[in-house]
Structure 1
Amino acid sequence: MKVVREFSDPSCLERLQKNDTAAFDLLFDQHAPGLCRFVHGYLKSHADAEEVVQDCFLKLWERRHEFDKGIVFKTYLYTSAYRAILKQLRRQRYWVFEDCDGEVLIEEGNPGKIMEYQELEQLYQLAVAQLPSRRRQIFALSRQSGLSHAMIANELNISVKCVENQMTHALKFMKLYFQAHGVSLGLVFLLLS
């Protein structure tokens, strides 16, 4: 059994920003096994899980100079992996549309599904447009740009509590909006994120 030495995120960030590959290796050893299990639980493929995890760590390394001191690497990595899982699942779901010629697409594809997706996208855009401007900005930074609450607070020069409060109100509104239209909010985020 391999023993992995844990170290704090601020000290790790400091070392990463100095291009310390040993810190990166420790971070990888600390989080990669759990992250692989997490991804495999959704994708059911060891090769795909390993690829997603490698991509997450590559992005982390490439963005190491952009992180603020409040970064929680575990949260960043799992959020990044979750987004990659969703992209992968969407790709698997719609691969038939990309690989088929026109005649096969008409025979095997389901035009109703494409229409359903487009209608869902429109409904989502209408819901977001109804949010107050500041709340819409915070929601977009969180859900579309993938920033953490701390990063949003830092960027907008507001408190993290304010960001959390705005996100709570935004999600409540979105949930009620989609329930009124007979759609699950989880389904919307799964298909459109």
Structure 2
Amino acid sequence: MSVYSKYADHILLNLLKEDDQLAYTEIFERYSRILVNHAYKLLGRHDEANDVVQEVFLSLWNKRYELAVTGSLSSYLYKAVKNRILNHIAHEKVVSRYADSISNFIENEYVFADSKLREKELEAIIAKEIALLPEKMREVFLLRKVEELSYDEISNQLNITDKTAKQQVYNSVKILREKLKTALNVFIW
């Protein structure tokens, strides 16, 4: 039993900000199992629940210097897991929506013997292209196109102007349209 197991969360956080790997390990051991259980209840899949929690802890370590935890560490971690899950679900919805749209286009205009394979490949391309959008642009895009929030709601939630939100969505759609047009040309021929 480590001396770190006796430390309160706020002490572990301060040590973490000072590059203390043992503090990080203690936080991980203290919270990872319950966070995975929580994520599993929301996702219904163990592998995805584990992945989400791993991403949260990786982010915790990578952002340890600028970490601003208001309230308890457990609340912060639960919220981080919830946000990752929401992003994950939103991402799946967007990919699915685009895949359906492209699939319908292909089925109506062209007949492919390997349409299922092409659909999977297109889903992967779409997911990759959305993931490659700059972080803020991707966040605004997902809030508008998946969560279907208004520009006012997005601007309030992200503390940006509604003009900035509109511009981010416009830019992301333009980027995705160009990338997907190129991908479609490849698949059609």
Indicate the TM-score class for this superposition, using the shorter chain for normalisation: 0.5 to 0.7
**Quick one: structure 1 residues 118 and 53, their matched pair in 2 at CA, closer, same or farther if it must change by over 3 Å?**
closer
Relative contact order (C-alpha < 8 Å, sep 6+): which is higher? 1
Aligned match of 1:34: 34
1:126 is matched with: 152
Asked if structure 2 preserves the Cα contact closer than 8 Å seen for 1:36 and 1:49, the reply is yes
**Residue by residue, what CA displacement relative to the aligned partner does 1:133-178 show, whole Å, maximum 9, x if unpaired?**
xxx5xx535xxxxxxxxxxxxxxxxxxxxxxxxxxxxxxxxxxxxx
Higher helix share: 2
Aligned to 1:89: 89
Question: What letter corresponds to residue 149 of structure 2 in structure 1?
Answer: E
Q: Is 1:140 the counterpart of 2:158 in the alignment?
A: yes
5 Å-filtered alignment, 1:17-166, equals: 17-68=17-68, 70=70, 72-99=72-99, 102-105=102-105, 120-122=148-150, 125-126=151-152, 136=156, 139-140=157-158
Q: Which runs of 5+ in 1 are unaligned?
A: 109-115, 130-135, 142-193
Alpha-carbon deviation of 1:75? 1.5
User: Aligned-residue CA RMSD in angstroms?
Assistant: 3.2
Aligned-pair CA distance for 1:20: 1.2
> Does the 8 Å CA contact 2:93/2:146 hold for their aligned counterparts?
no
When normalised by structure 1's length, the TM-score is 0.52
**How far apart are 1:104 and its partner, in Å?**
2.3
Number of residue pairs matched? Answer: 121
On the 8 A contact 1:39/1:81 being kept in 2, the answer is yes
Q: 1:90 to 1:120 in 2, by over 3 A?
A: closer
Q: Secondary structure at the match of 1:85?
A: helix
Shift of 1:36: 0.4
Report how far residue 89 of structure 1 moved.
Answer: 1.5
Q: Is the 8 A contact 2:90 2:147 kept in 1?
A: no
Task: Compare CA radii of gyration and give the structure with the larger one.
Answer: 2
Contact 1:97 1:105 in 2 (8 A): no
Structure 2: gaps spanning 5 or more residues: 109-143, 160-189
Runs of 4+ in 1 over 6 A off after TM superposition: none
Distance verdict in 2 for CA 1:127–1:33, change over 3 Å:
closer
Cα distance change, pair 78–104 in 1 and its aligned pair in 2 (3 A): same
